[in-house]
């Protein structure tokens, strides 16, 4: 999918009227409460359950009394922990459902000076399925992420083994890829499924209308297709704080295990140069990587504490570890205008530190790159709507060069 430059001003899209809506127990909050909401924040991450926080004015100036904590009679029970909540964010007449969750806590504040406030916070409704962490891998018979999700949901809950014991309603994309190697590393099953969903741009939630707990996993009509955003410093990127570190980089990965059938040890290597070859880096990019690798190229990572029982598993795991480490070399903290579709797992392109787009907003063929220009994967995002408008902050990890695209004819 071609990256979409962020339109700062456009006839087709406006960023001038941020808007949000909150539903509690499936009923939208009315103006009596909405007018007191000071700020709404939504956070998600590749490796954690998403959460929210709502900051509310707690002082009734007319009655000169607290409003929600302790509650006046007309507001009793509205924000009780355990109640279902849905949060939508975006712009006027164009909002996106961010999450459906459960209120888990209240935090009133009675400051020395200024008005009293109440913080309402909670988690995605799926947090109730965080019961036991597991380590498991899928190496045989290449599977898609949706097929893995179906397997996990249909497997019963058993101590020491992955399984959620849920019905699943899958809606995969037509072009969903089959994976060579998928590894769940000491994760809750539901958090692992969230990770799979996010890297595909899928929705994942419990269906209300189902008689038994049913997990929706796939493309949703509510979200539509997820764009690959293109940010350029000085245009659509408000702030950018990159970090390049070689502290955890290695030149070779060795994975050791035991072949039970042959009753002999397994040892497989995967070198940094193998990764450059497999990822088909350009000659200029390889030259740059070789220069950086002088700081760590003779360092070796040896893995001996994972359940590896075949040569294929060892090879796949060595490659995955090297790839993960290499792509963590450049990470960045960024901020841009509020974009409800910019979530963890999304791919974005960041430009402006060597690569400049042309007047049509595309990367010219043969454009020079830099250590910080490139394609990134979003690790986490924070969406905030308040007195200063709508802002999205995110952390991202560089995973490759900028996609070289020719201008549209």
How confident is the prediction along the chain (409 residues), in pLDDT tens digits per residue? 445 555 433 334 566 789 999 999 999 999 999 999 999 999 999 888 999 999 999 999 999 999 999 999 999 999 999 999 999 999 988 899 999 999 999 999 999 988 999 999 999 999 999 999 998 888 777 899 999 999 999 999 998 899 999 999 999 988 898 887 788 888 999 999 998 998 888 888 888 766 788 999 998 765 445 567 889 888 889 999 999 888 888 999 999 999 888 899 999 999 999 988 888 877 877 887 888 888 888 899 999 988 888 888 888 889 888 988 887 888 999 999 999 989 998 889 998 887 666 666 665 555 555 678 888 989 999 999 999 999 999 999 988 776 554 333 3
Both structure tokens of 234:
């000085």
Both structure tokens of 61:
């100036």
User: Which pLDDT score is estimated for 364?
Assistant: 58
User: Which pLDDT score is estimated for 10?
Assistant: 36
3-state secondary structure of 318: helix
Tens-place pLDDT, residues 21-32: 999 999 999 999
Tens-place pLDDT, residues 335-389: 999 999 899 988 899 988 876 666 666 655 555 556 788 889 899 999 999 999 9
Same-domain check for residues 23 and 143: no
Tally of domains in the chain: 4
The C-alpha atoms of residue 228 and residue 4 are separated, in whole angstroms, by 6
Largest interatomic CA distance in the chain: 81
Cα distance from N-terminal residue to C-terminal residue, the chain: 17
**Is residue 31 within a helix (H) or strand (E), and if so which, with residue range?**
helix 31-34
Half-sphere exposure of 258 (CA within 13 A, CB side): 6
Same-domain check for residues 314 and 284: yes
Same-domain check for residues 236 and 379: yes
The answer to whether 390 and 41 are in contact (CB under 8 A) is: no
> Would you say the pTM of this structure is higher than 0.75?
yes
Q: Residues for the chain: how many in total?
A: 409
The answer to whether 44 and 53 are in contact (CB under 8 A) is: no
The C-alpha atoms of residue 193 and residue 165 are separated, in whole angstroms, by 14
In a domain, 223, yes or no: no
Q: Which domain holds residue 214?
A: 130-218
Same-domain check for residues 234 and 379: yes
Same-domain check for residues 58 and 114: yes
Same-domain check for residues 64 and 137: no
What are the φ/ψ torsions at residue 127 (nearest 5 degrees)?
Answer: -60, -25
Same-domain check for residues 317 and 374: no
Same-domain check for residues 73 and 201: no
Helical segments of 92-213, H only: 145-154, 189-200
């Amino acid at each position: 999918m071609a990256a979409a430059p962020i339109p700062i001003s456009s006839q087709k899209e406006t960023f001038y009227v941020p808007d949000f809506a909150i539903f509690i127990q499936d009923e939208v909050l009315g103006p009596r409460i909405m007018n007191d909401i000071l700020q709404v924040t939504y956070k998600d991450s590749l490796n954690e359950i998403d959460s929210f926080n709502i900051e509310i004015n707690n002082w009734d100036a007319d009655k000169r009394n607290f409003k929600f904590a302790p509650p006046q009679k007309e507001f009793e029970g509205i924000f009780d922990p355990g109640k279902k909540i849905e949060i939508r964010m975006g712009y006027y007449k164009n909002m996106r459902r961010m999450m459906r969750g459960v209120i888990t806590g209240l935090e009133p504040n009675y400051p020395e000076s200024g008005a009293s406030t109440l913080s309402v916070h909670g988690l995605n409704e799926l947090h109730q399925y965080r019961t036991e962490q597991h380590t498991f891998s899928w190496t045989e018979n290449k599977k898609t992420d949706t097929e893995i999700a179906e397997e996990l949901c249909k497997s019963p809950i058993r101590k020491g083994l992955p399984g959620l014991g849920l019905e699943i309603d899958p809606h995969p994309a037509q072009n969903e890829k089959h994976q060579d190697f998928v590894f769940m590393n000491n994760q809750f099953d539901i958090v692992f499924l969230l990770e799979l969903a996010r890297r595909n741009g899928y929705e994942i939630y419990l269906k209300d209308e189902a008689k038994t707990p049913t997990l929706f996993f796939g493309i949703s009509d509510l979200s539509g297709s997820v764009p690959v955003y293109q940010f350029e410093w000085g245009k659509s990127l408000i702030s950018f704080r990159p970090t390049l570190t070689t502290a955890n980089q290695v030149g070779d990965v060795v994975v050791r295990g035991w072949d039970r059938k042959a009753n002999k040890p397994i040892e497989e290597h995967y070198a940094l140069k193998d990764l450059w070859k497999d990822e088909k880096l350009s000659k200029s990019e390889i030259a740059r990587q070789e220069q950086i690798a002088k700081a760590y190229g003779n360092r070796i990572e040896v893995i001996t504490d994972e359940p590896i029982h075949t040569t294929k598993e060892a090879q796949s795991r060595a490659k995955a570890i090297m790839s993960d480490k290499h792509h963590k070399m450049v990470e960045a903290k960024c901020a841009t205008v509020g974009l409800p579709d910019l979530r963890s797992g999304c791919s974005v392109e960041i430009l402006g530190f060597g690569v400049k787009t042309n007047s049509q907003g595309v990367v010219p063929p043969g454009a020079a790159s830099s250590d910080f220009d490139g394609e990134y994967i979003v690790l986490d995002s924070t969406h905030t709507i308040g007195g200063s408008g709508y802002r999205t902050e995110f952390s991202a990890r560089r995973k490759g060069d900028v996609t070289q695209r020719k201008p549209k004819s």
